[in-house]
Chains A and B, each alone.
Chain A
Amino acid sequence: MPIEARLSDIKEAPRTSCALGGALGSMLGLYGGVPILHSGAGCGLGQQFGLTYAAGQNSAGGQGTTNTPCSSLVEEHVIFGGEDKLRKLIRSSIKLMEGEFFAVISGCIPSIIGDDVDAVVKEFRQQAPLVHVKAPGFIGNSYEGYELLLEAVADQLLEPQPVRKNQINILGVVPFQHLFWKGDLAILKRTFAAFGIEANIIFTEFGALDRLREITAAELNVVVSPWVGHRVAAKLEAKFGTPFLTAPGVPIGGEQTSRLVRRVAERLGLNQEKVERVIAREERHAYRSAEYYGDAIMLGAPHALFAVAADSGTAVGLTQFLTNEVGYVPDLAIVTDDAPESAHEGIRRGLTEGLISAVKPELVFEADAHKIRQKLKGRAFLFLFASSLEKHIAGPEFNAIPITVSFPSFDRLIIDRSYAGFRGGLTVMEEMVSTCTGPL
């Protein structure tokens, strides 16, 4: 990589942790998963403020923060190697920790000094379901860590098996990094269930090992991100023949949800008439509920300009929903997740095409908090859907009302909250109107 490109990596407060953080967060999202860090002692604890608190003030649970086994490498290991320490740690972790699936996540130190972690992990393959995820922080961000974990699972754990009709996997929702991961996955599962589609959401369900092993039983992988999870999906296709389709983000509201369901149903060959019947039923109820916010929007805050500064999937979903279903005006969309160049065109289409608006948002790809801040100044938008980094500067500097929808979020507790599905738009409206409501 030329030095100029490397220099452009310098960032103020980029909105993600590292590959190790992403792999660790994903392990914590598996109920029954036990992460074992082969790293410095701070690599896990650092995720307390840097990953789980930042993901809607979440505690990390019984396998996270100071519970996480860690080889806690120091200088003598740099000199003499950390393999023996890791061997003892894996042995004791399997003996002590409650859990059914283990992943050794190796960080910067062993990757630089060249520990043969694969060889050590191999010694324990017969003792417990165990994979090695090589995820040094210098190799990428949290999104990369999610891919690396699932790729390791695909390579080291999964076996081919007969496909189960109408079973799908949901990919592309990164635990903690995607603020609404828990709620979104639950809603997606429920949404598809209404159509007779069994969605394996992998995370947030007990029985982590079965959830993982069932990945290869799926008829189709559904990736709800314009770029995250694509690599895993491609690997699963190459290795196990599972095809995949991608959505530009987690669907928000009736329009996006119906669109995704139709695509999935078509790929699965479901009865179209029946699918349309269920869509009509779901939409009817959701939009009946939408009538409750009618005056709050049309009388209280109609045609407002808004901006998003969020990860690509959230940016696309919110921009489409607010424009097409609320009649809001998309002023600016800043994509903050450092999406790879190859994904930019797809994200651009998601943010500018199919909008029922004469105005298309200005689109910016930017991960540097300072540059994002400068970009947000001097605009006319009223609502700003961004991260908690913008919370306290939105009023004084942008004359806007902030709503935190993207990592990091230190300003709200997020557990079941979700904008996904037929009724997800209602939640967006509840939150948005609640920031400014008063006597009409």
Chain B
Amino acid sequence: MSRHNTETVSNVDRDEGLNLAATTCPNREDRASGINVFYGKASQLVEDAKAGRLRNHEREFQQSSGCPLNFYLAVRVTTIREAVTIFHAPIGCSSSALGYRELYRGIPNSLGRPDFDVRWLTTNLNADDVVFGAGEKLRHAILEAQERYSPKAIFILASCTSGIIGEDLEGVIASVQDTVGAKLIPVHCEGVRSRLMQTGYDAFWHGVLKHLVRKTGKKKQPDLVNVASMLSYCWQDRLEVTRLLGKLGLRPNFVPEFATVGDFEQLSEAAVTAPLCPTYTDYLSRGLWQEHGVPFFMYPSPMGIENTDNWLREIARHTGKLDVVEKVIAEEHEVWVPRLHAIREQLEGFKGDGTKMSILGSLGQGRLLAQMPFFHELGLNPAAAITQDFDNLILDEVDNLVKERGDFEILVNTFQAAEQSHLTRKLDPDLTLTCPFQGPAFKRMKAATRIHSLRGDPMEISAQSGYAGAIAFGEFILRALRSPGFHQTFYKKTADSYKPWFYEQPDPLYFVPGKEAQEADAH
């Protein structure tokens, strides 16, 4: 367990620390040598990373994949209660947040959804603003937000345009902070600043740590556990995490979705910060440790039985619950493990030839770490994975994954639909986890289903976290294998997006120049 504890975490030198005096965080490229171009064996990826050989090659063919602002940051920040979000941007940068009044409304009150109202404004930058600057507009928008809603916090999200024309967010905020009641939090999520969307989340946490988390007083809440979650958890996951922590006598402090401003303020008072997704939570966890002494751990996330066991143990270690945690785990095992075995038996026998079902998942970094062992637990063979990006923050964990579970192929790309479709055809796994918005990879005769649902989904079949989630996901996979009508119909009846010659090439990274050299290294 030693690699899991807080003293040994990290490939980032903790002595360097986070510089919260700075306007914003460093990019993931700089902070953790992040990349989003690689195809080869995971062992090679680890070796290259350790040797500092990973490079972010420029693709000659690239597809729209998200930026620090519009990789769902917009749809997440706008859900924060008692707050207003201001997009200092042209009108289109915020249109993804138009669902704000509906997000979570499908969750019945009986499942614990409180009443809420969220709001956002855009400064709607126009051609004149680009020429003359729009500081006055931003100031006005802040005052307007204050007058309309008297919020406790106002998040101000930067954009490519505000960044390139040199808008001084900090200056505007300083000029108006004393006249408004809300805490003003700049988020430097300019799309143009980084190739890695995780930079946007780091920028958000930077703003939260610097401007929102309560600094004064040493009050601790020994039963409070910070749970910063990724986009891809849903309401049942939240209920399961709450249930499990409740059995330990602990309370979750969920951020950012749907959290109140107070939930953010009290992040500094928690006993521990626990990950649902380490790569997403990383900056917050480090910041809370550095500034407020809140311990954290990076691994594992509560996905699958064994991961959940160890997640609970880590939390228990930091909250003085080691005496009860084994009892809780044993109780849970009694309920859930037989069901896992039943699912595993069905999955292992599914092909009928004694071999395991191969599965290809399109995952984030965090899911890569959490889900690969979980797939093994389910009796599936995760021979390959696609991950959004890769950085040194998870280097040791991937190294361990390879050592413990064996090598696997890995394609690192951020939503590159053509590459994903190529790899899916090439490997032809028994089951692939994807969605139509990720390109035509789902159009196939073998099984395909989604990797996860999203936040507002209250259905039990969509759960993935904790013990209940492990079973729900296992059953979901079984259901997917038995109901291929949808993706088979699309395969037979609709066109592909890419020309056939592409699928005949050996390498999904066909359009990455200099790939030949990289390949020579890899094989």
Hey, which chain A residues are within 8 Å of B417, CB to CB? 65-67
**Docked-complex contact A74 and B192, CB < 8 angstroms:** yes
**Docked-complex contact B101 and A66, CB < 8 angstroms:** no
Q: Is A233's beta carbon under 8 Å from chain B?
A: no
Give the residue of B70, B105, B494 whose beta carbon is less than 8 angstroms from that of A42: B70
Q: Is A75's beta carbon under 8 Å from chain B?
A: yes
Hey, which chain A residues are within 8 Å of B158, CB to CB? none
**Docked-complex contact A71 and B62, CB < 8 angstroms:** yes
- Inter-chain CA distance A72–B60, complex, in Å, is 11
Query: Which residues, 56 to 115 on B, are CB-close (under 8 Å) to A?
Result: 58, 60-72, 74-75, 89-102, 105
**Docked-complex contact B140 and A10, CB < 8 angstroms:** yes
Give the residue of A10, A68, A392 whose beta carbon is less than 8 angstroms from that of B63: A68
Q: Is A243's beta carbon under 8 Å from chain B?
A: no
Hey, which chain B residues are within 8 Å of A140, CB to CB? 91
**Docked-complex contact B67 and A42, CB < 8 angstroms:** yes
Query: Which residues, 204 to 255 on A, are CB-close (under 8 Å) to B?
Result: none
- Chain B, residue nearest A77 (CB): B192
Hey, which chain A residues are within 8 Å of B137, CB to CB? 6-7, 9-10
**Docked-complex contact B121 and A1, CB < 8 angstroms:** no
Q: Is B161's beta carbon under 8 Å from chain A?
A: yes
Stretch at the interface among A87-95, A180-188, A265-273, A347-355: A87-95
- Inter-chain CA distance A137–B91, complex, in Å, is 7
Hey, which chain B residues are within 8 Å of A392, CB to CB? 101-102, 105
Q: Is A108's beta carbon under 8 Å from chain B?
A: yes
Q: Is B458's beta carbon under 8 Å from chain A?
A: no
**Docked-complex contact A72 and B70, CB < 8 angstroms:** no
**Docked-complex contact A40 and B119, CB < 8 angstroms:** no
- Inter-chain CA distance A59–B435, complex, in Å, is 10
Hey, which chain B residues are within 8 Å of A78, CB to CB? 164, 192
Nearest-neighbour CB distance to chain B for A41, whole angstroms, equals 5
Q: Is A45's beta carbon under 8 Å from chain B?
A: yes
**Docked-complex contact A9 and B126, CB < 8 angstroms:** yes
Stretch at the interface among B128-136, B319-327, B395-403: B128-136
Query: Which residues, 119 to 156 on A, are CB-close (under 8 Å) to B?
Result: 136-141
Hey, which chain B residues are within 8 Å of A39, CB to CB? 64
Convert B168-204 into 0s and 1s, putting 1 for each residue whose CB lies closer than 8 angstroms to a CB of A: 0000000000000000000000011111000000000
Give the residue of A17, A72, A98 whose beta carbon is less than 8 angstroms from that of B498: A98
Hey, which chain B residues are within 8 Å of A97, CB to CB? 497-499
**Docked-complex contact A410 and B121, CB < 8 angstroms:** no
Q: Is A358's beta carbon under 8 Å from chain B?
A: no
Hey, which chain A residues are within 8 Å of B99, CB to CB? 49, 53-54, 388, 408, 410
| Interface band, chain B | 35 or more
Give the residue of A40, A92, A139, A393 whose beta carbon is less than 8 angstroms from that of B67: A40
**Docked-complex contact B160 and A40, CB < 8 angstroms:** yes
Hey, which chain B residues are within 8 Å of A49, CB to CB? 72, 75, 95-99
- Inter-chain CA distance A3–B95, complex, in Å, is 24
Nearest-neighbour CB distance to chain A for B88, whole angstroms, equals 10
Stretch at the interface among B264-272, B349-357, B436-444: B436-444
- Assuming the contacts A11-B122, A138-B127, asked whether A410 and B67 have C-beta atoms less than 8 A apart, the reply is no
Hey, which chain B residues are within 8 Å of A91, CB to CB? 60
- Inter-chain CA distance A93–B62, complex, in Å, is 9
Q: Is B365's beta carbon under 8 Å from chain A?
A: no
- Inter-chain CA distance A392–B90, complex, in Å, is 27
Give the residue of B93, B130, B440 whose beta carbon is less than 8 angstroms from that of A46: B93
Give the residue of B97, B130, B141 whose beta carbon is less than 8 angstroms from that of A112: B130
- Inter-chain CA distance A97–B75, complex, in Å, is 30
Q: Is B453's beta carbon under 8 Å from chain A?
A: no
- Chain A, residue nearest B415 (CB): A66
Hey, which chain B residues are within 8 Å of A54, CB to CB? 95, 98-99
- Inter-chain CA distance A69–B511, complex, in Å, is 12
Give the residue of A19, A70, A109, A410 whose beta carbon is less than 8 angstroms from that of B62: A70
Q: Is A285's beta carbon under 8 Å from chain B?
A: no
Give the residue of A6, A41, A59, A96 whose beta carbon is less than 8 angstroms from that of B437: A59
- Chain A, residue nearest B73 (CB): A42
- Inter-chain CA distance A112–B75, complex, in Å, is 26
Nearest-neighbour CB distance to chain B for A389, whole angstroms, equals 5
**Docked-complex contact A44 and B193, CB < 8 angstroms:** no
Hey, which chain B residues are within 8 Å of A329, CB to CB? none
Give the residue of A6, A48, A410 whose beta carbon is less than 8 angstroms from that of B126: A6
Q: Is B336's beta carbon under 8 Å from chain A?
A: no
List the 5 shortest-distance A-B pairs measured between CB atoms, nearest first: A18-B92, A44-B64, A42-B67, A50-B95, A42-B70
Q: Which residues of B contact A (CB under 8 A)?
A: 58, 60-72, 74-75, 89-102, 105, 119-130, 134, 136-137, 140-141, 144, 148, 159-161, 164-165, 191-195, 414-418, 436-440, 494-499, 502, 511
10 A-B pairs in the complex with CB atoms less than 8 angstroms apart: A17-B95, A66-B63, A66-B439, A67-B440, A69-B64, A70-B63, A71-B62, A139-B126, A139-B127, A410-B99
Q: Which residues of A contact B (CB under 8 A)?
A: 1, 3, 6-7, 9-21, 37, 39-51, 53-54, 59-60, 62-63, 65-75, 77-78, 85, 88-89, 91-93, 95-98, 108-109, 112-113, 136-141, 370, 388-389, 391-393, 408, 410-411
